[in-house]
Every structure is written in structure tokens, then in C-alpha cells.
Amino acid sequence: MGFPSWLCLCLHLFIILGICVASPLGDQKRDRITELPGQPKNVGFAQYSGYVTVNKESGRALFYWLTEASTNRGPKSRPLLLWLNGGPGCSSIAYGASEEIGPFRIRPDGTSLYSNPYAWNKLANILFLDSPAGVGFSYTNKTSDLFTMGDRRTAEDAYAFLVNWFERFPQYRHREFYIAGESYAGHFVPQLAQIIYQKSKGIKNPVINFKGFMVGNAVTDDYHDYIGTFEYWWTHGLISDSTYRMLRKACTSGSSLHPTVQCMEALRVAVLEQGNIDPYSIYTRPCNNTAPLRHGLRGRYPWMSRAYDPCTERFADLYFNRPEVQKALHANTTGMNYSWKSCSDIVGNYWADSPLSMLPIYRELIQAGLRIWVFSGDTDAVVPVTATRYSIDALTLPTIVNWYPWNDNGKVGGWSQVYKGLTLVTVTGAGHEVPLHKPRQAFILLRSFLENKSMPS
């Protein structure tokens, strides 16, 4: 006996609807942000956010926020850039998106937003990722993951995220793709770049059309980073001669993420000598009443208070803990039993593997012909310009364009040197978070990088 015609019609519609719900377009529609609470009117670009599962067995899911290029700037013709913050354990939503390169900044009341005139989505489609699981809105259902997270798993999960994300957003397949980040993302970015390069090698027209990466004030090589950091402190009058010698003796043979007892003691003395300064921007006055925020730095130095202008972190804490904001972002869908924080203490304090050097990866990716830029704010004492220069010098690359000042409206914006396979750019007067301190100069930096042109002279 055949099915009634009405039942056949219902089954047909059910199948069609099922396909639509499970389709990339259905997923995109679900992730589309209508409007964020307190957002300026008529922003002129599309936003998406939500979760991508990267490990079904452990229930690990990473949270993303895509801010497309403005409609009047042709988002379909613009490249895609993934931004990663470091820590390890700090949120790209809290830092990159909310106080550096995102389209909005948070007002001190924590309830409203205002436009960032130098937002990077004026030049590219920007994808922010909270990584690894346990950071920001990203989560895992396996608690032990939080105590065993490390470099390798973070890179592998980020790659899994990208593979699944490109399935959800097929319009970005084969689009020019770049990665950028800062601080401990000096580990995240090249390791993810290496995985993408190796998995795409030999494939004609790969889905992830990876062209290169850019990192700022980046943790690169523990030995050279230590040497350069201690030299910066000493030459800028932040520590005594005797402490400088003690640091050179106690610290330069070990890991910066897991220092020895002797190194920790030398670092403790150095912090006492430096006094109440902002190490992320040594000429900037610290935010008032910073005592409650003086907890362990996740990343370059676990013993140093973090981070630039703690007040901005407070704004983010207020805004992203609001239920209506989480609902608008499609975030915290599992109902986390803890408050949203800019950085995760557990992930940062229990970080597992951390290679001593990224230089072997740089050599591999330089040989592959990828576009690689390294930039540095020169008032940062956490991963200072001297550390970056020592690490780059260790690569022994031939110089194509010697050290020169680059200009912004007739004023020196910093200095640059072009090597065979790598470009170094410094930004004068900028601290650890270059786009926060010098947004206009950071915008010029991005434009030059995307156009593959030297900094303007």
C-alpha cells in the first residue's frame, strides 16, 4: 500500500529542511550576530560567532568571532586573517578583538561599545579565536584537558578548527589566508603555520590558501629572548649591574615558561628593583588600584604582573559576563559554572609542552617561501625589541634592505629591515600590544604586510 500524498509531501519537506539545517548556510545563519548590546548603529559589516567542535571524544569546542570587511570595501575580495592572542591562556576576544584590532572598543561602564577607527576589518576579514579550550568562551568536557594543555595540542586543535570552519564558511575556501598574533602566540602562530603548510604541501589549489603570517613582540627562542630581555632591562635603567649579571648567570640556560629556582630568585630581585612600573609599556603610568589584578603572568614570565592597562581588562570582564552579550554572541551555550575571564589561570599555570625555540620552524617556512613579518613595540619590557632582534639574528639571513626609518605623515613611525624571507618592523613608542598603543601605525603595518610592500619611507 502506498503512502498518502500528504505524508509524502511532509517527508519531502522534512528531508529538505533537514538538509538546510545541517548545511553550511544553515550553520552560518545560526551564527550570524544580529546586533551586540551597546553596539554603534549602522556598523556596515557582517559578524558571526559561535562554536566549532575540534575533538568530539573530549568535547573540546573553540569559540570564534568573525568580523567581515565593511560592505563598502568589498569583503568578498578581501583576504581572511586569523588573529591569536597568547598567554598561554589569554582570550583573543578580550585582547585582540576588544582592545587592539577589532571593530569595537568597550567603554569603562562595561555596557556599551564605540567604533575603532583603525579596525583591521577595514582591510581584511578578521577571524578571532579563543584558543586553546578552557580559554575565554572555549571549553572542554574533559577536565584533565585543562591541566595538560600545551603547544602541540593547541596547534592541532586550531588546525581542526580551521578545517571545520572552512566547511561552515565555504565562501572563504581558496581565499588568501594569513595568521597574525602576539606574545606567546609567537609559539601558536608558527606552529599552526607549519601544520597548514605541511598538510597542504603538494595539493593543487588547497582549501586553506595559506600565504604567510605576522607576529608581534613574540616569544621566539628562550635563550635569545632571555639575553635580549635582560639587556633591555639593564640598558633602560630598570635593574642594577649586579642583578643583570645574576640574571645572565641563573636564567639563560633554561626554559622561560618553567624557570629554575635560581632563575626565579633572580627574577624576583629584578621585579623589586623595577618597582611599580608597567612592564608591558615602561613609559605608561599603570592603571590606578591595580593590586587585585597582580596575579601571575600567563606566558612570557609567570612571575610578572600582567598586563597593559589593567583597566581595559576590567571593561572586558564586565561586558562579556553580561548574559545578554553572551546570548548575542551565541556564547556560553553550555552554561559554564565559572565567570568569563580574560585569561585562564588553570590553562596558563599548568601549561605542559613549550619548545625552547621556534627558529627551526622559521627556517622551514622561510625555505617554503611564505610571507613572514615580525614586528615589535619598542617600549615593551616583557618581550622587548632586543629579544626579537637577537632571535632574528640567530637565523643568519642575508639582508635585502638595510635598517631604515619608516614614516607616518612625515614622522618616524619606527624602523625596519628586510631580510631574505623575513621582514622586521619596529613601532616606536608602542608597548607589548602594538595596536593598542599605536593603532594608526599598526594599521599601516597591516596594510604593508597584506600588500607585500616595504614600510613607507
Catalytic positions: 183, 380, 432
Interatomic CA distance for residues 218 and 413, integer angstroms: 19
Interatomic CA distance for residues 147 and 347, integer angstroms: 6
Using alpha carbons only, give the angle 38, 42, 46 rounded to the nearest 5 degrees: 90
Of 222, 264, 217, nearest to 383 by C-alpha is 217
Of 451, 454, 447, nearest to 422 by C-alpha is 454
CA 369 to chain CA centroid, Å, is 23
Q: Give yes or no for a contact between 386 and 418, defined as CB atoms under 8 angstroms apart.
A: no
Q: Would you tell me how many other CB atoms lie within 10 Å of the CB of residue 324? A: 11
Q: Which three cell numbers stand for residue 97?
A: 578583538
Interatomic CA distance for residues 202 and 204, integer angstroms: 6
Q: Give yes or no for a contact between 375 and 214, defined as CB atoms under 8 angstroms apart.
A: yes
Interatomic CA distance for residues 316 and 106, integer angstroms: 7
Using alpha carbons only, give the angle 339, 341, 342 rounded to the nearest 5 degrees: 165
